[in-house]
């Protein structure tokens, strides 16, 4: 089954990778049980965002950061959104049967006391939805696509802000 060369290579790879196993450090945990990243995230206040999709992104972020509104937070996260819908699949008759909702977010983490921009970036999410002849089904499918895109954008922003806090030490 195993040739002697393959077995020696496997043992060599395992022996060389064993010292690296101790180098892994989880982003949300520390050795003493406290998590500095989670503590920092809970101190971020998310500024209000316009429109229904913006409110959805904000709610997801507030819940992900602290489970509720951060009081006297030393950090403020400002998010601006742009979105549009484009035709993804078009029938020969010219009717779009599948559309794609695209949500782009630009975000900035600001230190409230000094007004200094600490970190910023942008992210993009797309969610497809089908069109039918039923008006309510179309509206519901579009709203569901908006919600899916908002969840993805919020999760990406949260992960990137957490990575920033983790990189600070």
Q: pLDDT tens track of the chain, all 169 residues?
A: 667 787 788 787 777 776 666 655 555 555 555 578 888 888 899 999 999 999 999 999 999 988 876 667 899 999 999 999 988 777 777 777 888 999 999 999 999 999 999 999 999 999 999 888 888 988 999 999 999 999 999 999 999 999 999 988 6
HEC-encoded secondary structure of the chain: CCCHHHHHHHHHHHHHHHHHHHHCCCCCCCCCCCCHHHHHHCCEEECCCCHHHHHHHHHHHHHHHCCCCCCCCCEEEEEEEEEEEEEEEECCCCCEEEEEEEEEEEEEEEECCCCCEEEEEEEEEEEEEECCCCHHHHHHHHHHHHHHHHHHHHHHHHHHHHHHHHHHC
Domains located in the chain, CATH noted: 27-168 (3.30.160.150)
Name the token pair of 53. Answer: 């999709």
């Amino acid at each position: 089954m195993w040739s002697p060369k393959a077995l020696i290579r496997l043992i060599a790879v395992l022996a060389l990778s064993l010292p690296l196993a101790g180098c892994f450090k989880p982003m949300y945990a520390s050795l003493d049980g406290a998590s500095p990243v989670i503590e920092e995230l809970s101190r971020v206040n998310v500024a209000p965002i316009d429109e229904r999709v913006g409110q959805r992104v904000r709610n997801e972020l507030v819940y992900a950061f602290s489970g509720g509104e951060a009081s006297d937070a030393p950090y403020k996260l400002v998010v601006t959104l742009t979105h549009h819908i484009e035709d993804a699949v078009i029938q020969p008759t010219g009717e779009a049967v599948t559309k794609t909702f695209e949500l782009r977010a630009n975000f900035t983490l600001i230190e409230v006391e000094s007004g200094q921009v600490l970190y910023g970036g942008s992210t993009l999410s797309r969610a497809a939805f089908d069109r039918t002849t039923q008006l309510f089904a179309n509206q519901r499918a579009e709203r569901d696509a908006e919600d899916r895109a908002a969840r993805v954008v919020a999760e990406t922003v949260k992960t990137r802000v957490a990575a920033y806090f983790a990189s600070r030490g």
